[in-house]
Structure 1
């Protein structure tokens, strides 16, 4: 994801009613977002909840909306406001991790 000239890697895990977001360094925090509503042009809107491991960046996201829109080549465009700016990203699916026995 990107804000201005800052890039931050993130991993997202989707379930039918929420998405769990992990932000890599420098934030190193996790925060769930519950499905809120369908938006315009195929968008889906989620709302950030309480950070599961603290971290000021994730704590400040609580109550803010996270929007996903269909992007190019099967990707998802992501946008969300933080305390200081709006973040944008272009997400691509990762290869599935096989289940452990």
Structure 2
């Protein structure tokens, strides 16, 4: 009976550790662009373990933070927060979801989100 309890504890510990190992966040600085139709916006994103700080350049000209929510298959889902410096583009992101398609070791990742339509693009690892 004691061995059975020990096995259950080991299984429970593995279930807590495996999701974190299987869904590594893309740490560091990434840059590229997102597009919707013919409109393109340059993007830089700095990922930490629990969030991403995104800067949209050009006409959007704003910054916004998104907090990690969960992994869904290969995708990592982040929830946008209130824009740090305002601007209609970033203000419209509040309460929307940023989807990041990334596998550990990749030098590129794909992002997509909704803001007056579906935006998507590819970012490359910097440095």
Output the TM-score relative to the length of structure 2.
0.69
Q: Runs ≥4 in structure 1, deviation > 4 angstroms?
A: none
Which structure's CA Rg is the greater one?
2
Aligned residue for 2:66?
Answer: 33
Aligned residue for 1:15?
Answer: 48
Picking from 86, 96, 117, the partner of 1:54 is 86
Write the mapping of 1:77-92 to structure 2, written as runs, cut at 5 A: 77-82=110-115, 84-92=116-124
Residues 31-80 of structure 1: CA deviation (Å, up to 9, x unaligned): 0000010012x210000001000001101100000000137x63101110
SS at match of 1:58: helix
SS at match of 2:90: helix
| Equivalences, count | 92
Output the TM-score relative to the length of structure 1.
0.87
Aligned residue for 1:98?
Answer: none
Gaps spanning 5+ residues in structure 1: where?
96-101
Q: Aligned Cα RMSD in Å?
A: 1.2
